[in-house]
Structure 1
């Protein structure tokens, strides 16, 4: 699709340049009409899975090969976590899983988070790298529906959206270097697809 030709034609019809909001709206309309570059149908790529695995880690591997739950590093307690960052009401002190259970839960959790990101950015231009970064962010924070970065992404303000990742670097009221590092890598991945 010749996006420039469409923009030039609409600009001539209006008799003026575009406002930022008009550019974003026209981009969305073109993307929806052409069926390209929206998040619909995207799945998390190997790069997306790799960033989640790198930062979640599969911690607390015991000598017997089993994996045990551990308290949240920010709070020292709830939510208890196991495997590749899995949390939930079924996980607490004393929870033990096999590596296969951890890997299966990772796949389920990634698919669930990817669906939630897809819904949050439905109809808005989203590259594979942006999608992967947003899923990693959501996997860790659960905040895709309320984060300012989602609104900025949907407004086609990709640079500003990337700047928002770094705001999510705290747990238990304090900055954690691991979270700060993760947010930097997510922002870099996000920008690589802008």
Structure 2
């Protein structure tokens, strides 16, 4: 029987929720994109005419995490423990699979250079070209989770 693909664990979900925060009504994120729930980027074909419930926000997050998880399964060629996987999900959820795909972090990781890959997290602390304290804290939290046995 085929092994089930890894999915985001409780530590990863908690990290994402703590940094994204819960907004039940749509808002513009740090770079001006329409967002709702736990950092769900509103797509052109989506409409949110009313506030979400917390349960709807959780469901939207799980759907978004599924997309992120599939990207990581496609891009990462080395084994990951649960904490490493969760940290990568949090990172990729925030930055997008395209940024992970072209990153030095992924290149080093796929070469089996786990510690060097971890040192790449803090470099991704800018939005719109500006260093953001929240992103600096988030990258440090992701790095710490990645390095946790």
TM-score (ref. length: structure 2): 0.88
Q: Distance in 2 between matches of 1:173 and 1:114?
A: 27
**Unaligned ranges ≥5, structure 2:** none
Match of 1:46 among 2, 10, 25: 10
| Superposition deviation, residue 94 in structure 1 | 6.4
How does 1:91-102 map onto structure 2 within 5 Å?
Answer: 96-102=51-57
Q: Distance in 2 between matches of 1:95 and 1:147?
A: 37
Cα drift, residue 102 of structure 1: 1.2
2:118 maps to which of 162, 170, 188: 162
Please state whether the residue corresponding to 1:42 is helix, strand or coil: coil
How far the C-alpha of 1:98 sits from its partner, in A, is 2.7
Tell me, what secondary structure is at the counterpart of 2:120? helix
Q: 1:120 to 1:95 in 2, by over 3 A?
A: farther
Are 1:176 and 2:132 counterparts? yes
Local SS of the residue matching 1:126: coil
Q: Given the superposition, is the C-alpha separation of residues 173 and 94 from structure 1 closer, same or farther in structure 2, using an over 3 Å criterion?
A: farther
1:140 paired residue number: 94
**Which stretches in structure 1 are left out of the alignment for 5+ residues?**
1-34, 60-66
Query: What are the within-5 Å matches in structure 2 for residues 40-189 of structure 1?
Result: 41-59=5-23, 67-73=24-30, 75=31, 77=32, 79-87=33-41, 88-90=43-45, 96-122=51-77, 124-142=78-96, 143-189=99-145
Counting matched residue pairs gives: 145
Aligned-residue CA RMSD in angstroms?
Answer: 2.2
1:81–1:92 Cα contact (<8 Å) kept: no
Separation (CA, whole Å) in 1 of partners of 2:66 and 2:26: 22
**CA distance in structure 1 between the partners assigned to 2:91 and 2:73 by the alignment:** 13
Cα gap change, 1:91 to 1:71, in 2 (>3 Å): farther
- For 1:58 and 1:51, locate their aligned partners in 2 and report how far apart those are by CA, in whole Å: 13
Give 1:95 shift: 6.1
TM-score (norm 1): 0.69
